[in-house]
Amino acid sequence: MNSTAAATQGLLRRFRNQRPIRGGSLLVTIFGDSIAPRGGVVTLGSLIQLAAPFGLTERLVRTSASRLAQDDWLVARRDGRRSEYRLTPRGQQRFAQATQRIYSKGPASWDGQWTVLVLPPNGVKQRENLREGLRWLGFGQPSPGVFAHPNSNLEQAREWLRNLDVARDALLLKSSSEDIVVDRAVVAAGWDLGELARRYRRFVDSFAAAETALTSRDAVTPESAFVIRTLLIHEYRKIHLQEPLLPPALLPNDWVGSSAYDLCANLYAKVFAAAEEFLTATASTLEEALPPADASARARFGGISS
């Protein structure tokens, strides 16, 4: 067993040891990273085959896909006993938002402006329901009922809030402290950067062996490339989508999130082509093979060379 194969098996062991194994979450990763840029439609049988290397049973894949459909992420189309899944409009929208964040670097500069959302005082239950959605969009919560975002304009924020069905009497405004000490205090209150840094370090440690093996030009099979690529994005997105993508002025020195991004970009580029081979050989729609990945896939992480 070469070092790439050993690193792949190590990554699979870590994933399979997670309890519970969240089949739906892995399918979301597969759809967003692999299926969406190749037409966004795939048969259930293909999903079962794609999920098999990770230890997901056929039953778990069927159940997970059904739940994603119930949650308005996917919609099914049947042809006799066969079926295929595609993203719903809501699923497409959320994938587009996530894709922009996952594969892009954070802002290099900042104009000092915060987008601030203030919820009405009777919105305690609403705040609990909104917290996860707002954090997913990059908002922090420096105090009860107040959320802040460093990188969105008001028009973009209004669109996000409409999709989250935020109360009409919520206040959305632009704010500036004109004091970096105050701005850093907002960050300290709104986000747990210490926990994010710990998770990023575990991520870097987990994938360092695979990066080293592929840097030494170890052979990688198409299936191993697909496994590495999928687990890479799966673990990275769970951390990265909790990060507010703060500008350097608001981050600690030597922010480990930057190292995690660089590792992810380098490793992704090394396995991309071979993983695409596995997808081509394994997945299809009800009528035909999947089309090639679109240009947006090769533009990820600043551009993937052939």
**pLDDT tens track for 166-175:** 767 788 999 9
Q: Are residues 59 and 88 in the same domain?
A: yes
In this structure, is residue 119 part of a structural domain? Answer: yes
**14: containing domain:** 1-108+191-306
Q: Are residues 99 and 246 in the same domain?
A: yes
In this structure, is residue 125 part of a structural domain? Answer: yes
Q: Are residues 215 and 97 in the same domain?
A: yes
Q: Are residues 2 and 138 in the same domain?
A: no
Q: Are residues 129 and 269 in the same domain?
A: no
Per-residue pLDDT averaged across 151-157, rounded? 86
In this structure, is residue 83 part of a structural domain? Answer: yes
Q: Are residues 78 and 211 in the same domain?
A: yes
State the DSSP string of 146-168.
Answer: EEEESS--HHHHHHHHHHTT--T
Q: 13-22, 254-263, 266-275: which has the minimum mean pLDDT?
A: 13-22
- Could you give the C-alpha distances from 209 to 216, 239, 267, 302, 304, in angstroms and in order? 11, 20, 11, 23, 21
227 has a pLDDT exceeding 70: yes
- Could you give the C-alpha distances from 195 to 4, 239, 280, in angstroms and in order? 30, 10, 38
Query: Final residue of a domain: which of 129, 144, 175?
Result: 175
Q: Look-up: residue for tokens 């190590």? A: 10
Q: Are residues 96 and 136 in the same domain?
A: no
Over the stretch 207-219, which tens digit does the pLDDT of each residue have?
998 888 887 666 7
Q: Are residues 203 and 249 in the same domain?
A: yes
In this structure, is residue 182 part of a structural domain? Answer: no
In this structure, is residue 180 part of a structural domain? Answer: no
What's the pLDDT at 64? 95
Give the confidence band of 94 by pLDDT, cuts at 50, 70, 90: confident
Give the confidence band of 19 by pLDDT, cuts at 50, 70, 90: confident
Q: Are residues 79 and 15 in the same domain?
A: yes
In this structure, is residue 186 part of a structural domain? Answer: no
In this structure, is residue 185 part of a structural domain? Answer: no
In this structure, is residue 47 part of a structural domain? Answer: yes
Q: Are residues 61 and 75 in the same domain?
A: yes
What's the pLDDT at 123? 54
Does 166 or 298 have the greater pLDDT score?
A: 298
Q: Are residues 146 and 210 in the same domain?
A: no
Per-residue pLDDT averaged across 98-120, rounded? 87
State the total domains in the chain: 2
> Among candidates 78, 144, 156, which has minimal Cα distance to 115?
156
> By percentage, how much of the chain surpasses pLDDT 70?
95
Q: Are residues 245 and 118 in the same domain?
A: no
